[in-house]
Amino acid sequence: GNSVTQMEGPVTLSEEAFLTINCTYTATGYPSLFWYVQYPGEGLQLLLKATKADDKGSNKGFEATYRKETTSFHLEKGSVQVSDSAVYFCALSDPYNQGGKLIFGQGTELSVKP
């Protein structure tokens, strides 16, 4: 079945450092890919998405490119801030399988120090 694998955390960075969180997926169809962010004590918020191969999603300085050849959707940000500290979830949704429900990776905790 479909699945998502993320790099394990926690990831600890200094402010203004470059961020990469790796995400790879397994899917039988043509999924859409998402990054969600969860701040402490809150629900998940959609950060960005890409619906087809080679699409780049971007938001708030974060970017991720849908790479079908490597089945990856790595999250990047050029310069992180303390306020980016949160848990980041990669997810996929395949509308032609499993009702389009979101399947999540295990989450990667990011801690940014001043």
Partner 1 sequence: DSGVTQTPKHLITATGQRVTLRCSPRSGDLSVYWYQQSLDQGLQFLIQYYNGEERAKGNILERFSAQQFPDLHSELNLSSLELGDSALYFCASNRGIGGTNYGYTFGSGTRLTVV
Residue with tokens 């990011």: 110
Check residue 60 for interaction with partner 1 (CB under 8 A): no
Taking CB under 8 A as the criterion, the residue among 21, 23, 44, 112 binding partner 1 is: 44
Helix (H, G, I), strand (E, B) or coil at 25: strand
Check residue 28 for interaction with partner 1 (CB under 8 A): no
For partner 1, the closer CB: 101 or 113 = 101
Check residue 29 for interaction with partner 1 (CB under 8 A): no
Q: How far is CA 47 from CA 68, 70, 89, 98, in A?
A: 20, 22, 9, 23
Q: What is the CA 110 to chain-centroid distance, rounded? A: 12
Check residue 46 for interaction with partner 1 (CB under 8 A): yes
Site for partner 1 in 73-92 (CB under 8 A): 89
